[in-house]
Structure 1
Amino acid sequence: MPNKNPPTLATIRIKNLRLRTYVGINEEEIQNQQDILVNVVIGYAADRAVQFNRIEEALNYRTITKEIIAHVESGRFALLERLTKELLEIVMNYEQVEVAEVEVDKPHALRFSDSVSVTLSARKEQP
């Protein structure tokens, strides 16, 4: 009889990744890098990682984080929405990722608030 147990879904959270980039539409934002915070939540089937306890079977969040850092630090973005979408695409390009959410915060974007953020999420189609 085949195993009908649902896959073990692992959640990886990358919290408050502090980066600097060009983001915005006014002249000061175009000319000067700003601080941003990136939060990523990733869900992937971790059955093989749990079973074999080997890094080769796990989703390598360090590799994902390095790719996010390189993309943010080398880019220029008019809108938070575009930056967030591009980071979500990076995460979703990893074969093991089933679902992901990316939030990008822009501290001090508004005079009376701590920050403004955009959150986007995606889920891969089930076969």
Structure 2
Amino acid sequence: MNLNQATIKIKNLRLRTYIGINDDEIKNKQDVVVNVTIHYDAGRATDSDSVDDALNYKTVTKSIIALVEDNRFSLLEKLTAEVLNIAAEHHWVTFAEVEVDKPHALRFSDSVSLTLSCQK
């Protein structure tokens, strides 16, 4: 049994980006909320207590922030897929899941969200 399967969760990362196809959405940045779950074998990190043996969630988060804030997206699907690519890119990752919420996208709704995942 592998007791070192780690789950990293980046919760409620609040960012602003251009997302959507309507004129107002193209002209104005909107809030998005990103949640990321990453699974990896943390055996090396739990044995060594060395940052070099751990998946660096700060580096992952900085890459996500740069992607979201520096780009434009027509579809929530494309934005979510691009964030998932970052979450899953390290070779230690065995599973990644990303949910992106677009608050106030629909009248009478808190948000609309899309979730994508991949297993390696």
- Give the one of 105, 115, 118 matched to 1:119: 115
Amino acid at match of 1:22: Y
Does structure 1 residue 77 correspond to structure 2 residue 73? yes
Unaligned runs of 5+ in 1: none
Q: Return the offset for 1:103.
A: 0.4
- In the other structure, the counterpart of 1:46 is 42
Matches within 5 A, 1:1-127: 5-6=1-2, 8-124=4-120
Amino acid at match of 1:100: A
Amino acid at match of 2:101: D
Partner-residue secondary structure (3-state), 1:10: strand
Partner-residue secondary structure (3-state), 1:28: helix
CA distance in structure 2 between the aligned counterparts of 1:85 and 1:7, rounded to whole angstroms: 30
TM value normalised by structure 1: 0.92
Q: Return the offset for 1:7.
A: 5.8
Percent of counterpart pairs with the same letter? 61
CA distance in structure 2 between the aligned counterparts of 1:52 and 1:75, rounded to whole angstroms: 38
Q: Return the offset for 1:81.
A: 0.6
Amino acid at match of 1:21: T
Q: Return the offset for 1:120.
A: 0.2
Q: How many residues are treated as equivalent by the alignment?
A: 120
What stretches of structure 1 move > 2 A for 4+ residues in a row?
Answer: none
CA distance in structure 2 between the aligned counterparts of 1:6 and 1:44, rounded to whole angstroms: 11
Unaligned runs of 5+ in 2: none
